Amino acid sequence: MRKKERADFILSFLDIAYPETPIPLNHKNNFELLVAVLLSAQCTDERVNKVTPILFAKADNPIIMSKMSIEEIHYCIKSCGLAPKKSKAIFGLSKILVDKYNSKVPDSFDELESLPGVGHKTASVVMSQGFGHPAFPVDTHIHRLAQRWGLTNGKNVIQTEKDLKNLFPMESWNKLHLQIIFYGREFCTARGCDGRDCEICKICYPKRKSPIKTKKP
């Protein structure tokens, strides 16, 4: 298969396998989504979904969150990776949202990425899943899978995002990035597939003999 043929097959395959794509991080509004995505860095979604009910029971909007202390925020999220750093970021971005954005989450990449602790991937998730704007959030898992499936040679998530956006229609991005995550977690895991074992890998590369060594971002 050529690259475009692989992309077309993957898009069709995942649409059948995952017709519904619920957001894995539990939230009730865009502020909670922003905080949850920030917490998910170097932390599983399962863990995030265990700590956010505790945090959001105390503060589910930036006004209340900005009145909490960093120590109080940390106590709620301490089981997440990088909790001290994330506590400061959540407190800082909450104050900025109150002071600068009328307590609302902005819907632009530049404004989101200017907030403490919010990188391009986090902003992309909020833009796509919170506001419905076309975006293709790429984390280390999608980066790895895109390499295994021959969709990119990118050495970093920036190049991988660019390559995926060029391969897939814009209207598919918001759903597709979740479909890839769901499939990767279930069938093409870091230890469960080396580029030869899952259905997508076998169909895209039926003659592949050696494991694929992916380039870390």
Residues annotated as catalytic (active site), given as ranges: 121, 139
Nearest partner of 7 among 130, 172, 125, judged by Cα: 172
Asked whether 116 and 92 are in contact (CB, 8 A), the reply is: yes
- Measured in residues, the chain has a length of 217
* 172 close to 108: Cβ distance less than 8 angstroms: no
Query: Residue 66 contacts by C-beta under 8 Å, 6 or more apart in sequence?
Result: 91, 94, 95, 97, 98
Q: Which amino acid is at 48?
A: V
Of 95, 103, 49, 48, the C-alpha closest to 68 is 95
* Cα 45–Cα 141–Cα 125 angle in degrees, nearest 5: 60
Residues 6+ apart with CB under 8 A from 178: 18, 21, 23, 24
- Identify which of 152, 149, 141, 154 has the alpha carbon closest to the alpha carbon of residue 42: 141
